A = this chain, B = another copy of it.
Amino acid sequence: MSENPDEKLGIIERLRRGLPAPELSYVADREGIGVEEIVSGIVKGEIVFPANRCFPLKQKPCAIGRGLRTKVNANIGTSTEVHDFNDELAKLRVAVDAGADTVMDLSTGGPIAEIRKALLAVSPIPFGTVPAYDLITRFCGNGNSIHKAVVDDFLKVVEEHGEIGVDFVTVHAGLTTEALSLLKSEGRIAGIVSRGGSFIADWMLHNGKENPYYEYFDELLEIARKFDLVLSLGDGLRPGAIKDGTDKAQIKELSTLGELEERALSRGVQVIIEGPGHIKLDEIETNVRLEKELCHGAPFYVLGPIVTDVAPGYDHITSAIGGAIAASHGADFLCYVTPGEHLRLPTEADVREGVIAARIAAHAADLVKLGERARRWDDSMSRARFRRDWEAQIRLALDPKQAGALSGKEIEKGEGCTMCGDYCSYKVSERILANKGDSK
């Protein structure tokens, strides 16, 4: 650790006391807004700034929440089946290159502590984890189960992640005995699909005890305060099938997360709320509004949502549909889903496609949420298109590499494209409407 964690306050407390937070200027500049908007959002709990305060600021920090650009997270990490150190470092580079705002290491296979440290050491973007996975990997396997973990183990893994410099952690603190009993009566098709959630539920049911992250939430907050660790309150009961979406269990957990959010904020701990999952397209708006109501405007971090179960191999698209709709209604943070979700651990190519699809969804939503501030990009692109300026179109493209790869021939010719050839509507428009577009 670079400094004594007790000597400094978390960002909420600093801002509440009117102390300076120069690290927010970079973020405000990148958003194109005044720093006071971000300060006000953080104090109200509507914006988070994930940055472990015991470690140097990441090269590209970001803030997440109301009034800001929708952010994109990429999940990487090993599993028991696939765990190559270099693969994960490569995936991190691909995710950053493709424009991910944050990354989460979800490793559960191989030397996970070493992999995590290696990734953390080079990540230029805020870094998240799910500490409960350490419980799973330590206690399970070889015929053993999570049953023998004790409450202290649940808290210790979170502290360990803070100590190495993690910026935000998922903790499934709303998965209570009550929510679990609702779930059992729902008759879901897909049960619990959250990995952390399923193992915590297993522990709870076997030991007949409440979820330690819920019961000892104050202790969890103390740990979070030490590092200014952002708590991403996970939805262990998120639906994993369209039919299971927006049921009593899911909403009970969300409601509990709202109570925990208030307690965290009062202690100066930053909170994100996690959301679904598989839900029908027309349930997305309700889910977002409910989160904003029940969780007092806290940033909403959705996994997808995935709007149909039937397209394995294309879940970057099913989730781009859901993510765009969710963010347009106020979700703040999209966890990417890769084409191979439901089929395999993502490859480098999957990571790239996942990040790009989520960024498309985020920007489509930002056109709604942020208006002209977001639309300037589209206007520049459309002007370049109207004047057949291929170089500008490639440069402005959300993914210049892909746009360049598909348009090589056109750039050489400098005019028109193979789509319309000689019969280009832009050329006709330009001539008959005397509309040259702006010069930019």
Contact = CB atoms under 8 A, between A and B. Distances in A.
Interface of A: 79-82, 108-109, 133, 136-137, 140-141, 183-184, 187-195, 197-199, 201-202, 205, 240-244, 278, 280-282, 307-314, 316-318, 320-321, 324-325, 328, 339-345, 356-357, 360-361, 363-365, 367-368, 375, 377-379, 381-383, 385-386, 393, 396-399, 402-403, 405-407, 409-410, 416-423, 425-426, 428-433, 435, 437-438
A240 B345 CA distance: 38
A364 B403 contact: no
A438 B243 CA distance: 13
Instruction: List the 3 closest A-B pairs by CB distance, nearest first.
Output: A191-B429, A80-B421, A241-B382
A309 B437 CA distance: 15
A422 B368 CA distance: 42
A197 B325 CA distance: 31
A154 to B, nearest CB: 16
Given A403-B312, A419-B344, A426 B243 contact: no
Give chain A's interface secondary structure class.
helix
A34 to B, nearest CB: 25
A115 to B, nearest CB: 14
26 contacts: A79-B421, A80-B423, A81-B417, A81-B421, A82-B421, A108-B421, A189-B383, A190-B429, A194-B425, A195-B423, A195-B425, A198-B425, A240-B425, A243-B378, A281-B364, A282-B368, A307-B364, A308-B364, A309-B385, A311-B397, A312-B393, A342-B385, A342-B419, A343-B407, A343-B417, A345-B419
Most chain B CB within a 10 A radius of its CB, from A108, A364, A375: A364
Contact of A399 (B184, B311, B432, B437): B311
A406 B353 CA distance: 14
